Amino acid sequence: MRVDREACVSAIEATAPDLLAYFRRRLPKEDAADAVGEVLTVAWRRVQHMPDDPHEARLWLFGVARNVLLQAIRSAVRQTELSARLRALAVESAAPADAGITVRDALGRLSEEHAEVLRLVHWDGFSLTDAAAHLGLGDSTMRSRYHRAKASLRAELSVHAD
């Protein structure tokens, strides 16, 4: 299979910031850079499987990212020279405490499946259909899970606001 290298590079470049954000929402900030580095390595090794359509390529890259995330959760993310610069920047730009911490804490108290749906839709910009495909769920299952996730978050926030 012939690979259009420039098209692949463009797809990866276009998605890379969103991949970094994806990991930053789910891993310690300093680990996110290494996780992106791992995605780039894996993606390029399997580049012959990358879809031609930009949207499909983006979803494919997020699929790679999900596998890297699951691996990272199971074991410490490997530090690479490739991501050293980005890792250093992450430490330098550590976010100050902000009002969002209440919401993030509440999100952290939800079940992982509820929290992940909300992260995908509200932070990563996935449609419900794309989020369903990303998680290997049916559309109707995704809709009901999303409903329940929002209700759970609202309940968590209400409890802690009382």
Partner 1 sequence: MSLVNASEEIRRIMTPDDITTMLSNADPGAISNAERAALHAMVRTTTGRGRLRRFAPRSAATIMITGALIAVGGAAAAATLSVWHPWAQHPDLTAQYTMTDGQQCEYRIVFEPGTTEAARTALTEAFTNSEVLTPAAVDAAIAAIRADPGAQRDADTGEPMGYGTAHYNAEWEYFNAVNAVVLSHVSDLGASQELATRGQAECE
Out of 96, 97, 136, 140, name the contact with partner 1 by CB under 8 A: 140
Say how far apart CA 44 and CA 22 lie, in whole Å.
19
User: CB 38 → partner 1: shortest distance, Å?
Assistant: 9
What Å distances lie between residue 67 and 70, 71, 74, 134, CA to CA? 5, 6, 11, 11
Place of tokens 């079940």: 111
Say how far apart CA 38 and CA 44 lie, in whole Å.
10
Out of 101, 113, 138, 159, name the contact with partner 1 by CB under 8 A: 101
Residue 59 interacts with partner 1 (CB under 8 A)?
Answer: no
Q: Crossing angle for the helix pair 100-109 and 139-161, nearest 10 degrees?
A: 120
Which amino acid, one-letter code, is at 161? A
Query: Residue 143 burial (CB < 10 Å; 0-12/13-18/19+)?
Result: middle
**Residue partners of 113: CB distance under 8 A and separation at least 6:** 145, 149
User: CB 7 → partner 1: shortest distance, Å?
Assistant: 11
User: CB 153 → partner 1: shortest distance, Å?
Assistant: 6
Site string for partner 1, 2-41 (x = CB under 8 A): ---x--xx--xx--xx--xxx-xx---x------xx--xx
User: CB 159 → partner 1: shortest distance, Å?
Assistant: 14
> Which parts of this chain interact with partner 1 (CB under 8 A)?
5, 8-9, 12-13, 16-17, 20-22, 24-25, 29, 36-37, 40-42, 44-47, 64, 67, 71, 75, 78-83, 85-86, 89-90, 93, 95, 98-104, 107, 118, 121-124, 128, 139-140, 143, 146-147, 150, 153-154, 157
